[in-house]
Structure 1
Amino acid sequence: QACGSHPLMRALRPGKLALAALEATLRIYMDGADVAHREVPVLNMLTLPQAHLERRARKLRDRMAAGLDKAGCPCAVELEIVEESSTPGGGSLPTVELPTMCVAVRLVDERLSVDALKRSLVQDFDTPVVTRTSHDRILFDVRTLVGDRDIETAATTLVACVKKAITR
């Protein structure tokens, strides 16, 4: 009752869409943990085993390498699989870190810059590919890629950005 009469209640009250989404999510959880892990993408991402992440990282690196080779720019970047950590929740859980695997892209060709390539990955194509940087490398965190379609999108977008940058 005290919450209901507080002035902030009107501003913070969930709308019909939020309540419907919450209800649908809770119904999934009622079907069991295995269904929830399969149907709730964030829960799936948070609980992926390290071995699965390693397989995804190898697949992404191999697709990137094949694409760069086919595009005629195999030596423009170096690709490496690295162990890193992820902060879940887009920063809402700043003290929590999850171990993850990333494909690190180190730029070799002098026509490439980390900032320009990172900007191109987000802005220049229909599907933005969000990455992060560490030690002058662009990191593709495979924990955030859902399935083969996302892996393919990340790989083809990187290839297109590299090719575009070196053919200017």
Structure 2
Amino acid sequence: MTLINGLPAHVLLVHVVVVLVPLVALALVAAALWPRAARRLGILLPALALVALVSVPLTTQAGEWLERHVDGGALVRRHAELGDGLLPWAFGLFVLAAVVWWAARPVPAESGPGGRARWSTLPVRIVVGVLSLAVAAGAIVDVYRIGDSGAKAAWHDAYSKKVTGHDS
């Protein structure tokens, strides 16, 4: 994917990543720490995590195309290098979202009405909660760093600090 309606696809796809990855990260932490949140989110959590995961390489590939079509510099190269590091975080979010969703599903009614959650043991919940917090924090920080470097690469000499003659 290179252009969408005449615009570089990266410029548009990046918004999917910037919104979905932090959203999935926050939802994952909530679901990992509060089983009721996991049950309420249900299949939506891993589904959104999958969309976020798929959007990362699409955005990266579109960014590589754009990199070949702009005057590259150190800022653009830095942004591209940072962008390549998001996929493992997105994969971690997806895997943990799938684990949390699966674990929060009720066990068939052998144990009584409504069943019970698959991960009723506290040690399992603690491990999944800590892993979810770590991966979510890493993903959010990485999205911020990538976005900041991209903004600097795109805007570093593209505006004037003084008013350019347009009336306010």
Same fold (TM over 0.5): no
TM-score by length of 2: 0.26
Structure having the larger proportion of residues in helix: 2
Structure having the larger proportion of residues in strand: 1
TM-score by length of 1: 0.26
